[in-house]
Amino acid sequence: MNRRTLLQSAGVAAVVGLAGCIDGVQEHFGLQGIVPIEIHSEADRTYNLHLQAYDREADRQSYEQSISVTPGESVKPPNLDKTEQSFRIARIDDNDEETEVREVSITSTTQVVTIQLSNDGLAVEVDHGDDAENETGVDGDENRTVDTGGNETDENETDDGAAD
């Protein structure tokens, strides 16, 4: 066996050996990871949003951002920490009053938070990964609904997938 092959094998063995330690290192140093936020506007006018997160364990505010989103724009504000949090999204009108509010849960399994702006309202989708329930903040009387299948469905869609 030549020296190059031996060094490559040793390097691969070291990387494979350390791969199992990453979770322990993250836990030890308190590195939870991040949750990206994506905001997409399909509205005809500019809307202002106020984003806040509250850490449930520490009972304190952990995130606050105010963002202005123009028509057709996609924005990626600073990321959330991947901890147990309550994330609140408020659409602000021209008089600095909250017109719509959505609140969703952020957990250690949360992958991404997607916010859709339209002229009709504000929709928030939280992706908790493949093995967890996905949460969607919707318009109407209910502040939050849960989509356990992980797929969005149209109200006009039938069981065979064809629209009415």
State both tokens at 108.
């250690």
For the segment 17-41, the average pLDDT, to the nearest whole number, is 70
* DSSP string of 66-117, one letter each residue: EEEE-TT-EE--PPEESSSEEEEEEEE-TTS-EEEEEEEEE-TT--EEEEEE
Domain map (residue ranges) of the chain:
1-31, 33-147
- Report the DSSP pairing between strands 145-147 and 80-81: unpaired
Domain 33-147 sits in CATH 3.30.565.10: no
Q: pLDDT of 99-140, one tens digit each?
A: 999 999 999 899 999 999 999 889 999 998 765 455 554 443
Predicted TM-score of the model (pTM): 0.63
pLDDT tens figures, 132-164: 455 554 443 333 333 323 333 333 334 444 444
pLDDT tens profile 42-91: 999 999 999 999 998 888 999 999 999 999 999 999 999 988 999 999 99
